Homo-oligomer: A and B are copies of this chain.
């Protein structure tokens, strides 16, 4: 089963770790990115813990992937990730089946969050990052983050009215970003189709 937004089931544990020593690298491509929170252990330590408590194994592929994923701080999909991993035959090659399997584990472990965009599954770092939502530029297809507590308030109010027990939400604002707006400002209506 695949849910549009997958929240890690072990969020209690997760929250327990917020606010101490480990600090994630600041996002690179990220004029608009949010500051990471401090967390008590690295993603890698956290994942080890997750594996241990479930009797799962620490394989070279999993170790390699966690480094690869947490090196970058952008949104990515499975394909983009696979593209920047070693090819078949090269050292540290990981099959795409394993990449898919491992990404799901990262989501379960609370390290990544995933959602659907343009038909594919997009992942982003979750562990140590504050809750946020996205602006999506339909022209250049990039994602920008924003935070709004008001949004959460509305969410909870609406949910309460309908008798819903909330587990999360996904808000995506679509439009044209500043840069794309600049470069193509004079587009005529008929071209917008």
Point out residues on A near B: beta carbons under 8 Å: 1-5, 7, 9, 32, 108, 116-119, 121, 135-138, 144, 146, 148, 150-151, 154-155, 158-159, 161-178, 181, 192-193
Q: Which residues of B contact A4 (CB under 8 A)?
A: 116-118, 136, 172, 174
What is the predominant secondary structure among interface residues of chain A facing chain B? mixed
Indicate if the CB atoms of B173 and A2 lie closer than 8 Å.
Answer: no
Indicate if the CB atoms of B167 and A169 lie closer than 8 Å.
Answer: no
| 6 A-B pairs with least C-beta separation | A163-B178, A166-B175, A164-B175, A169-B173, A116-B116, A171-B171
Chain multiplicity (copies): 2
Indicate if the CB atoms of B162 and A2 lie closer than 8 Å.
Answer: no
A98 to chain B, nearest CB (A): 21
Indicate if the CB atoms of B174 and A5 lie closer than 8 Å.
Answer: yes
Q: Which residues of B contact A117 (CB under 8 A)?
A: 4, 116
Per a CB cutoff under 8 Å, which of B137, B146, B162, B175 touches A144? B162
Q: List 7 A-B contacts (CB under 8 A).
A: A4-B174, A32-B162, A116-B119, A135-B164, A146-B161, A166-B173, A168-B173
